[in-house]
């Protein structure tokens, strides 16, 4: 008897494509193979050796703490992504991801629920805000911050602008003070040592807490307000809407503090696809929120490989390899494209061909003028069937 959330493979997939391939006689993992139909039976256009471009958070170590959990996909899990790392974190109502800082910048997307963030900058200026589903925050490198779940708890994705990041080596308030002589702490605050007798002896990292009061009551002014917002209401941004899906692009042009992370939130309807394109500025790191996808990445020298993705998976596209992402399921495909850059930039195959002298294009591809004429003048990053 399968649990509700485990998909029963409808039938055993075999690595057979026409006259190529043969059945599997040895050990097999049917549910895993069913998740990766285009890996088991690749398109005939796939060729050559590429690095692995897929990792599932389901394969990441889960760090369980009282009050929540965290798991990460870094360059250790996905070596093809040296520029970005991701953390998936869950906090129960009131639970706290403790006050800390780190050498990487942190970008976040709230997947479910809500949380309160707090920041103090190098001038003593403060920022506190409540973040809801579909909204973002960005903490620059070195800036101390905290995250506390509000009454319904929360789960979010964090993206760091270095693939070497580890959630286990951030600079924690409690870890620091546990490793500072008690008399030094006392001298620092001009207080007796007894005032610090109950400081934890080990880091807290994630720990239970009480749901904080409304933001207006919780605010601390500091030396003044932060000059830039550390949060962004992506849920309120109007998407670019086209036949087949929607796109929300968010970079430093709309969210100025986010100078090292640019992103697109993409929704693709069944059968439609994110068109053939590449990016001019950075590696792409993807997080799949819902649906089922297929992506082929072209790596030059005749090399191409196809991968499948579903909710909770991470995809990677090394700079400047070209690719498409197709919705192969029967529900909306929703995912994030993330780049270590201040801006979002892509070049589509269709636009490139449309604006190159057509005789030149036809000399390469032996296509009719009508194909080029049919390409819309406006960019349409999603193509409907």
By annotation, the residues acting in catalysis are 337
Q: Which stretch binds Mn ion (CB under 5 A): 28-36, 85-93, 248-256, 280-288?
A: 280-288
Minimum distance, C-beta of residue 89 to Mn ion, in the bound complex (Å): 10
Distant-in-sequence, close-in-space partners of 248: CB < 8 Å, separation ≥ 6? 234, 237, 239, 240, 264, 265
Query: Where in 105-144 is the site for Mn ion (CB under 5 A)?
Result: 106
Q: Name which of residues 283 to 302 contact Mn ion (CB under 5 A).
A: 284
Q: How far is the CB of 215 from Mn ion (least distance, A)?
A: 20
Backbone angles phi, psi at 305, to 5 degrees: -145, 145
Of 312, 314, 315, 332, whose CA–CA distance to 5 is shortest?
312
In whole angstroms, the minimum distance from the beta carbon of 15 to Mn ion comes to: 28
Distance (Å, whole) CA 145 – CA 102:
10
H or E segment at 17? strand 16-17
State in angstroms the smallest separation of the CB of 124 from Mn ion.
20
Closest to 385 (Cα-Cα) out of 242, 248, 199: 242
Q: Which residues contact 161 (CB under 8 A, 6 or more apart)?
A: 83, 84, 104, 105, 107, 141, 260, 261, 340
Q: Toward Mn ion, which CB reaches closer, 33 or 346?
A: 346
**Residue whose entry in the numeric block shows the structure tokens 């389901």:** 58
CA nearest to 11, candidates 30, 37, 26: 30
Q: Which is nearer to Mn ion, 284 or 292 (CB)?
A: 284
Burial tier of 89 (Cβ tally within 10 Å: 0-12, 13-18, 19+): buried
Min separation Cβ 10 and Mn ion, Å: 31
Binding segment for Mn ion (CB under 5 A), chosen from 35-43, 115-123, 220-228, 281-289, is: 281-289
Cβ 182 to Mn ion, closest distance in Å? 27
Place of tokens 């193979």: 33
> Binders of Mn ion among 12-41, rule CB under 5 A?
none
Dist CA 129 CA 132 (whole Å): 10
Q: Which of 362, 77, 125 is nearest to 228 (CA)?
A: 125
SS3 242: strand
Instruction: Return the number of the residue (33 or 106) whose C-beta is nearest Mn ion.
Output: 106
Rounded Cα–Cα distance for residues 301 and 23 (Å) = 30
- What six digits make up the tokens of 304? 């191409």
Give the count of residues interacting with Mn ion (CB under 5 A). Answer: 2
CB count in 10 Å sphere of residue 223: 10
Q: Which is nearer to Mn ion, 142 or 225 (CB)?
A: 142
Pick between residue 106 and residue 292 the one whose CB is nearest to Mn ion: 106
Which residues in the 48-107 window bind Mn ion by CB under 5 A?
106
Length of the chain: 385
Pick the closer one to Mn ion by CB: 40 or 304: 304
Shortest separation between residue 284's beta carbon and Mn ion, angstroms = 5
Which part of the chain contacts Mn ion (CB under 5 A), choosing from 3-11, 65-73, 240-248, 277-285?
277-285
Cβ proximity to Mn ion: between 40 and 119 the closer is: 119
Give min distance, CB of 168 to Mn ion, in A.
12
CB 261 within 8 A of CB 250: no
Q: Give the residue with the Cβ less far from Mn ion, 161 or 284.
A: 284
Binding site for Mn ion (CB under 5 A): 106, 284
């Amino acid at each position: 008897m399968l649990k509700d959330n485990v998909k029963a493979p409808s039938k055993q997939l075999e690595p057979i494509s026409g006259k190529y391939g043969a059945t599997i006689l040895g050990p097999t993992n049917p549910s895993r193979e069913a998740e990766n139909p285009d890996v088991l039976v690749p398109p005939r256009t796939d060729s050559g050796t590429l690095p692995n471009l897929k990792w599932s958070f389901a394969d990441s170590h889960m760090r369980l703490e009282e009050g929540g959990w965290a798991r990460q996909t870094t360059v250790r899990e996905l070596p093809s992504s040296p520029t970005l790392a991701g953390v998936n974190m869950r906090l129960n109502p009131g639970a706290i991801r403790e006050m800390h800082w780190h050498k990487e910048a942190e970008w976040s997307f709230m997947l479910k629920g809500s949380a309160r963030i707090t920041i103090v900058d190098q001038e003593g200026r403060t920022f506190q805000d409540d973040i809801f589903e579909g909204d973002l925050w960005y903490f620059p490198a070195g800036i101390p911050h905290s995250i506390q779940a509000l009454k319904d708890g929360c789960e979010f994705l964090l993206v760091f602008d270095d693939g070497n990041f580890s959630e286990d080596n951030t600079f924690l308030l409690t870890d620091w003070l546990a490793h500072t002589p008690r008399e030094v702490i006392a001298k620092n605050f001009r207080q007796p040592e007894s005032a610090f007798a109950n400081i934890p002896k080990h880091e807290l990292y994630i720990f239970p807490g009480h749901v904080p009061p409304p933001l207006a009551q919780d605010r601390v002014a500091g030396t003044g307000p932060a000059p830039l917002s550390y949060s962004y209401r992506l849920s309120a941004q109007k998407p670019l809407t086209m036949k087949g899906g929607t796109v929300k692009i968010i970079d430093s042009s709309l969210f100025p503090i986010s100078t090292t992370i640019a992103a697109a939130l993409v929704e693709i309807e069944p059968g439609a696809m994110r068109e053939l394109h590449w990016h001019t500025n950075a590696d792409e790191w993807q997080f799949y929120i819902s649906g089922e996808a297929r992506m082929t990445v072209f790596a030059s020298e005749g090399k191409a490989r196809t991968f499948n993705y579903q909710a909770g998976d991470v995809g990677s596209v090394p700079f400047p390899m070209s690719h498409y992402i197709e919705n192969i399921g029967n529900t909306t495909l929703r995912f994030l494209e993330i780049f270590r850059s201040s801006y979002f930039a892509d070049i589509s195959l269709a636009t490139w061909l449309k604006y190159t002298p057509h005789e030149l294009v036809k000399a390469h591809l032996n296509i009719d003028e009508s194909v080029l004429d049919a390409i819309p003048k406006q960019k349409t990053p999603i193509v409907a069937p």
